[in-house]
Amino acid sequence: MSRYIEIHPVNPQARLIDKIVTMIRDGGLVAYPTDSGYALACAPGNKEGMDRIRTIRRLSDKHNFTFVCANFAQAGPLAIVGNNAFRLIKRLTPGPWTFILKGTKDVPRMTLNPKKHTLGVRIPDHAITQALLAGFGGPLLSSTFIRPGNEEPESSGWEIEDSLGHLIDVVIEGPVGSTEPTTVVDLTDDVPEVVRAGAGDVNLL
């Protein structure tokens, strides 16, 4: 069974965040609220954690995992970002967006799309998520928590705990900013391409 931990939505308790971060560093998988539904996360380089996310979501090995970052500075070493992409990301973040970009040579190959060598980059506007990132001290490897057959992400921690808690090490209870998933934008070419419309307003592109 997972550990079910309720975190304050505005002032996340540091001692609880520290416990969760320790579990992530020890190889744990966490379900956590964001500004666009729940997501699953593990430490970068945690192959078992990635495999568990794929199993829970029934994803193929072509899935683009996302590096959830506290700010753009953390994203810089991970992705190749052109001038136009840089301006767009700076303008739209923090917020409910995922940007598909080419990964740099510093990124472990197992975290990249095997054919396109791409990854997702996300900078959320959510107090609990930002507290986790601050405690961890770097990006987390993540995927929106959408169950197989559904289009919308999970939005309730206790429902995740009740039905899937045995597959996850930590379930954080806290409010989500939106029940829609992130808007996914492919920035690997000069013209942005919306891969999935969601909580981010595509009219802002």
pLDDT digits (tens), the chain, 205 positions: 679 999 999 999 999 999 999 999 999 999 999 999 999 999 999 999 999 999 999 998 778 899 999 999 999 899 999 999 999 999 999 999 999 999 998 888 888 888 889 999 999 999 999 999 999 999 999 999 999 999 999 999 999 999 998 999 999 999 999 999 999 999 999 889 999 999 999 999 8
Measured between alpha carbons, how far is 57 from 204 in angstroms, rounded to an integer? Answer: 30
> Encoding tokens for residue 112?
């990249």
Domain residue ranges of the chain, discontinuous segments joined by +: 3-200
- Grouping H, G, I as helix, E, B as strand and the rest as coil, residue 90 is helix
Measured between alpha carbons, how far is 55 from 200 in angstroms, rounded to an integer? Answer: 27
Q: Which residues contact 138 (CB under 8 A, 6 or more apart)?
A: 44, 74
> Encoding tokens for residue 66?
């996302």
pTM as predicted: 0.94
CATH assignment of 3-200?
Answer: 3.90.870.10
* CB of 67 closer than 8 Å to CB of 75: yes
